[in-house]
Structure 1
């Protein structure tokens, strides 16, 4: 009797223990799911979130990430002063954000000092091709010369005067790549077309961009392009004179629905989703990622309102395909 009773009691105890284990497991799973929560992403950028250029390209990209993932987003924009950006980057890391995006090549110095202090935080820095040897920093860049080349081939076909004008900001990074790619595309399409290039030495000086646009037009340019947030000054002049415009970084159709031919748009979400996948798998950085036409990080978005000739657009699509498959080189 005792033996049987003992067995029955032991069996009952085992059942009870098993039930407790199951409940604990379920509780742990629920806690883990609750603790996971949304992915917290912070953006620190030099210009306005709605600049229709560099900063907006990243804000739009993070919003696109939010279409397929649960995220929490914070943005500090207008931090052209590097010290202010550094304070914001450090603040977001202290607040426990999962990914802090330092969206400006000028932020590399501060990031090199900040990132080692937060080894469990992932940082993204661009445009840049150097992650500073830090295993919690992703560097990201873009082959903006590719979209520039496509736009240049179209510009060479639509110019009536045989002169196109380019307004660059500072001769660095994706801005210089774009300008060089555009000029190469014009030359490849029609070597008799003249490409005049002016750098304003500023990313943000709208007045200088407007002056440069006026100078180009006075020298017979009937097609213009440019890079950085300053381009609102140039597009205003282009609208005034009915001069065609090619955008880059973000879709700039809103700056002139009748003059914007096409825009090279940075779809950073392609790289961001890859970063987040790596972060969730335990890799916080130590890599360089590049947006291209081939991986969808760059997309040429044509403006239907401009009324580009269908044959010219079809030829541009062929150039896009050729750059993507490697059969066409932009020369960069």
Structure 2
């Protein structure tokens, strides 16, 4: 069996029966990257470092240009083909030429782009990639990537060979079949929303991403918004006055879970504006509620405009402090109680509908498990942790009603050793897939890594601990909520709102690891679509 690409010619005209061909519909992710680039550019000049004007490189560039012009037809997209796939020096030179001509966003394809990405990193200019994740070269500037996954094709060829079929089939990578997928880096939520809207439109067949005339202006304005989402969670980056934000957290800003998720969202908001517009102060490790209350009062006394208590356990203290600072916007969660019954007008609450991504992770886990036994390392039976677990169990059972889901609550958010012990107990009982939540999971993930067992995570990307084992993650993004609180407080509304993170408003997003097959990703995406449309109730 021979396979080659990119091509659509299997040699049938020549009487050949043992050749497979494959193609990547790179214009699809190219279009999405173009939409992103159009939202990022301030100069309205974007540069493309192309290799040779053929194959998936040409498809990618055509789609990219159309994606840019779907948002703003007036943007100048500069295209330069180097004539080489591997000349990194020439690619670097081309990138410098684009920048000198005013480009403030760059993209390109083929192995030559290593040189161009280096230039982008030096100049602090966003890069949009294709084919493979290029963020290890410059993680701060590679803001989005269209990734190719050939796994399903290879498996089909191997299965065909067993059936004595050695060729005659054409394979395509598309967004719809999971052969193409988008990975986002340091992007604000409104841009991700625009990209996801483009993906949905491509999957739905609303337009052909390689058709310049048919896509001109189609993603401009309100087309970027998910009509079914919460407007407060889908806003564009607003103009704001300088603001001081303080946050008190129960764990550390690098906990890979609850606290890091909101701290990174704060940094994302800060990065949207010029220096000195958004000031951030934080106190971490506040497991003691009395100490946290002191820190909250101190921040309010020091004149911080927005004070966040990142934990349900801080609610009682916050309700006591808030009346003394009527023009300070207080925010806490997870909760839905804004203190209205107590007469408070300057407290907002937030909640993560973690059962949604929990359900998706459960679907993934059920598809991965061979033993039919799955283990959960849980902290305390409350809040988003409980929501996540309920959704996870429902997701598993939607695939395999006979699967056994072992749940152990450790009674702690931060006991890493106890989480590791619990993970070992699950494995000894036959579990071959694990999950859990809160900062304690670092211990459990370590055990999963040692045993070569898949882990599905929530709250924050934990793949840095075990990149080969963390196969999927539900990510929390609080950025849109934070922006709304800032805007409201600067217009004189200091509280009274309840915010939710959901899959529909993209406060929750799913990220998949390289170890997942296209079939499992397709099952997960189907679950996401079902939850967003309301066809699936995750708990």
TM-score after normalising by structure 1: 0.87
Describe the superposition over 1:187-237 as per-residue Cα deviations: whole angstroms up to 9, x where unpaired. Answer: 011112111100001111111111110000000101000010111111111
Answer whether contact 2:241 2:490 (CA < 8 A) is retained: no
Match of 1:140, SS state, is: strand
| CA–CA distance in structure 2, aligned partners of residues 101 and 41 of structure 1 | 8
1:285 matched to which residue of 2?
Answer: 495
In the alignment, which residue of structure 2 is the partner of 1:228?
438
Contact 1:270 1:296 in 2 (8 A): no
Which has more radius of gyration? 1
Aligned equivalent of 2:251: 47
User: How far apart are the structure 2 equivalents of 1:265 and 1:157?
Assistant: 21
Cα RMSD (Å): 1.1
User: Equivalent residue of 1:275, what SS?
Assistant: helix
**What's the counterpart of residue 22 of structure 1?**
none
Q: Kindly state the Cα deviation for residue 79 of structure 1 after the two structures are TM-superposed.
A: 0.7
Matches of 1:113 and 1:58, distance apart in 2: 24
Structure 2 counterpart of 1:99: 306
What's the offset of the Cα at 1:72? 0.4
Per-residue CA shift, 1:139-195, capped at 9, x if unaligned?
A: 000100000000000100011111100011000000000011100100011112111
Q: Give 1:312's aligned residue.
A: 520
Q: How does 1:1-332 map to 2 (within 5 A)?
A: 38-69=242-273, 70-133=277-340, 134-304=344-514, 307-331=515-539
Deviation at 1:66, TM superposition (A): 1.3
**1:40-83 Cα shifts (integer Å, max 9, x gaps):** 11110000110000000110110111122330000100111011
Moved over 3 A (4+): none
1:15-40 CA-to-partner distances (Å, cap 9, x unmatched) read xxxxxxxxxxxxxxxxxxxxx85211
Give the distance between the partners of 2:499 and 2:247, measured in 1 at CA: 17
Aligned to 1:253, what secondary structure does the other structure show? coil
How far apart, in 1, do the equivalents of 2:481 and 2:487 lie?
A: 10
Determine the C-alpha separation between the residues in 1 that align with 2:448 and 2:519.
24
**Cα displacement (A) at 1:278:** 1.6
Deviation of residue 280 (structure 1)?
2.1
TM-score by length of 2: 0.54
Give per-residue Cα distances to partners, 1:94-114, cap 9 Å, x unaligned. 111110010011001110110
Contact 2:329 2:485 in 1 (8 A): no
SS in 2 for 1:93: helix
1:324, 1:98 → 2: CA distance? 34
> Would the aligned equivalents of 1:42 and 1:99 in 2 still touch at CA under 8 Å?
yes
Distance 1:52 1:101 in 2: 19
3-state SS in 1 of match to 2:464: helix
Taking CA–CA contacts closer than 8 Å with sequence separation of 6 or more, which of the two structures ends up with the larger relative contact order?
Answer: 1
Secondary structure of 2:511's aligned partner = strand
Secondary structure, aligned partner of 1:254: coil
Gaps in structure 1 of 5+ consecutive residues: 1-35
How many angstroms apart in 1 are the aligned matches of 2:392 and 2:359? 4
Assess if the C-alpha contact under 8 Å between 2:333 and 2:351 holds in 1: yes
Counterpart position of 1:4: none
The 8 Å contact of residues 235 and 255 in structure 1, kept in 2 or not, is answered as yes
The 3-state SS of whatever aligns with 2:521 is: helix
| Deviation per residue, 1:238-283 (Å, 9 max, x gap) | 1110111011111111121010011111101121112222222221
Structure 2: 5+ residue stretches without partners: 1-239
Distance in 1 between residues matched to 2:520 and 2:511, nearest whole Å: 14
Aligned length: 294
The answer as to whether partners of 1:245 and 1:261 remain within 8 angstroms in 2 is: yes
